[in-house]
């Protein structure tokens, strides 16, 4: 007889918590999550509370004296302002007011470009808190924590050791623009769903993989492309030759359901099922060859940033992701390679600049696994950690003072 038959519900709860705390994936993910979120919070609060005196001149030019006091602005006001700009503002408006119900047109930017699952979750949570911006920060941060736990477990499930898993979650948590994982935006939810889908498939829980995939395609358009790595995993799994195809193959067809549902809804309110894609022209996006934005940077590499585009950082992120994807191809890791390449080449193919590419890269989790394997070399690992922490601090400071390149 199992000992648990004699335990009350309270000890069982305590036992679960105890097991959770002993879980290495939970402990490692929680540590890097807390460390990275506290770093971002610290830098944002200090930077947003900095004021400058009128410049004074010395022999080398203007000298700017500064003052920092945490009494200048309330923390809640700073965080509300930080997460209420750019894409976050669109999502907050959808959560508050829903989508615009009018005939499709591209004369202005419209809410149709943003997928519905995250705004739905945000609206549901905010019915309790009555504060959309701060709820978005808490919701996204908690989703990111869970995503890191499952990312750690996914790395182990694919045969890597604990040291690679620990470096993977560290590199992702401290990626230079990882503050987006704590803003009212889709990054955390999308990462959780894509990692969850691949993890479930690895454990041959195909229906759960399909459900996660469907939710991912209701979060971002890129979620629909999960069907490619999932199909490869299904085909390559160990199974009896006499039953090469099982009914659970139908779970793969669930992946596009989130996108299809959104398209049907858009058709009902705008008359255009492809409004989410066609409206991109209002943001200046147009289809082209994926190397076009890379060549645009290489023609003038000394131009480090321009308005909303931190060109050097975005180029570095794109090049890093492309090299890691090629490394996966050379290893014949078709599952991760296919997912990484599709996730990178699609955004590169519909814009002429590199704006926001770092945000797209940071949710492509297989490239962080590649980076973590390279991190077995101590000097390489130390260099990556120093560069990531330094850049994250710099970008967080610019986010706090609303420099546009930190918002893209």
**Each residue's pLDDT tens digit, 349-393:** 887 788 899 999 999 999 999 999 999 999 999 999 999 999 999
Q: Check whether 7 has a pLDDT greater than 70.
A: no
What pLDDT score was predicted for residue 1?
36
Q: Within a domain: residue 1? A: no
Q: Is residue 2 part of a domain?
A: no
Q: Which residue has the higher pLDDT, 240 or 103?
A: 103
Q: Between residues 71 and 221, which one has the greater pLDDT?
A: 221
Residue 104 lies in a domain: yes
What number is the average pLDDT over the span 192-215? 97
Average pLDDT score over the chain: 90
List the single range of 78-87, 141-150, 179-188, 231-240 with lowest mean pLDDT: 231-240
Phi (first) and psi of residue 62, to 5 degrees: -70, 140
Q: Given this model, what pLDDT does residue 238 score?
A: 60
- Per-residue confidence (pLDDT) for residue 63, from 0 to 100: 82
Report if residue 59 sits inside a domain.
no
The Cα 354–Cα 374 span in angstroms is 26
Structurally, the chain folds into a number of domains equal to 1
Q: Is residue 58 part of a domain?
A: no
Measured between alpha carbons, how far is 374 from 381 in angstroms, rounded to an integer? 8
Tens-digit pLDDT profile for residues 35-79 = 999 999 999 999 999 887 788 887 777 887 778 888 888 999 999
Q: For residues 308-331, give the mean pLDDT.
A: 93
Has residue 4 been placed in a domain?
no
* CA atoms 185, 190, 191, 196: torsion sign: positive
Give me the pLDDT at residue 242, please.
Answer: 42
- Please give the DSSP secondary-structure letter assigned to residue 53: P
| Mean pLDDT, range 128-133, rounded to an integer | 94
Place 14 in a pLDDT band, splitting at 50, 70 and 90.
Answer: low
Which of 34-43, 131-140, 278-287, 317-326 is least confident?
278-287
Q: Give the residue from 150, 152, 141 showing the smallest Cα distance to 178.
A: 141
pLDDT at residue 337 greater than cutoff 50 = yes
Give the range of the structural domain holding residue 381, as residue numbers without chain letter: 9-53+64-406
Q: Which of 17, 348, 384 is nearest to 176 (CA)?
A: 384
pLDDT of residue 103 exceeding 70, the answer is: yes
Q: Taking the mean position of all CA atoms in its chain, how far away is CA 289? A: 24
In 3D space, the residue among 223, 309, 303 whose CA is nearest the CA of residue 258 turns out to be: 223
| Residue 24 lies inside a defined structural domain of this protein | yes
State residue 265 phi and psi, 5-degree precision.
-65, -45
3 confidence band (pLDDT: 50, 70, 90): very low
Query: Regarding predicted confidence, which is higher, 303 or 165?
Result: 165
Per-residue model confidence (pLDDT) at position 244: 59
pLDDT band at 184 (very low <50, low <70, confident <90, very high): very high
Residue 92 lies in a domain: yes
């Amino acid at each position: 007889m199992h000992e648990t038959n004699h335990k009350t519900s309270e000890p069982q709860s305590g036992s679960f918590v105890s097991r959770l705390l002993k879980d290495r994936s939970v402990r490692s993910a929680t540590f890097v999550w807390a460390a990275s979120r506290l770093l971002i919070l610290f830098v944002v609060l200090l930077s947003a509370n900095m004021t400058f005196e009128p410049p004074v001149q010395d022999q080398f030019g203007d000298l700017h004296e500064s003052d920092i006091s945490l009494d200048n602005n309330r923390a809640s006001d700073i965080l509300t302002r930080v997460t209420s700009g750019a894409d976050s503002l669109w999502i907050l408006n959808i959560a508050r007011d829903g989508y615009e119900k009018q005939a499709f047109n591209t004369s202005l930017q419209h809410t149709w470009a943003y997928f519905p699952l995250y705004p739905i979750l945000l609206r549901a949570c905010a019915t309790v808190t009555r504060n959309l911006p701060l709820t978005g920060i808490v919701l996204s941060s908690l989703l990111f924590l869970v995503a890191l736990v499952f990312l750690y477990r996914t790395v182990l499930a694919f045969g890597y050791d604990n040291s690679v898993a620990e470096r993977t979650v560290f590199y992702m948590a401290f990626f230079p623009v990882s503050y987006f994982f704590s803003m009212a935006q889709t990054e955390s939810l999308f990462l959780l769903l894509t990692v969850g889908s691949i993890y479930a498939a690895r454990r041959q829980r195909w229906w759960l993989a399909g459900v996660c995939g469907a939710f991912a395609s209701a979060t971002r358009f890129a979620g629909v492309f999960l069907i490619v790595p999932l199909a490869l995993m299904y085909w390559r799994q160990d199974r009896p030759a006499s039953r090469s195809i099982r009914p659970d193959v139908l779970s793969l067809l669930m992946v596009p359901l989130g996108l299809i549902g959104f398209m049907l809804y858009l058709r009902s309110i705008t008359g255009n099922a492809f409004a989410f894609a066609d409206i991109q022209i209002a943001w200046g996006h147009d289809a082209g060859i994926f190397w076009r934005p890379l060549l645009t940077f290489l023609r003038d590499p000394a131009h480090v940033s321009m308005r909303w585009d931190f060109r050097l950082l975005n180029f570095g992120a794109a090049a890093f992701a492309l090299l890691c994807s090629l490394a996966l191809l050379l290893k014949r890791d078709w599952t991760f390679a296919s997912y990484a390449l599709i996730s990178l080449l699609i955004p590169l193919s519909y814009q002429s600049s590199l704006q926001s590419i770092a945000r797209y890269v940071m949710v492509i989790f297989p490239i962080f696994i590649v980076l973590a394997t390279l991190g077995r070399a101590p000097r390489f690992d130390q260099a990556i950690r120093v560069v990531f922490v330094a850049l994250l601090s710099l970008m967080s400071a610019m986010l706090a003072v609303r420099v546009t390149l930190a918002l893209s």
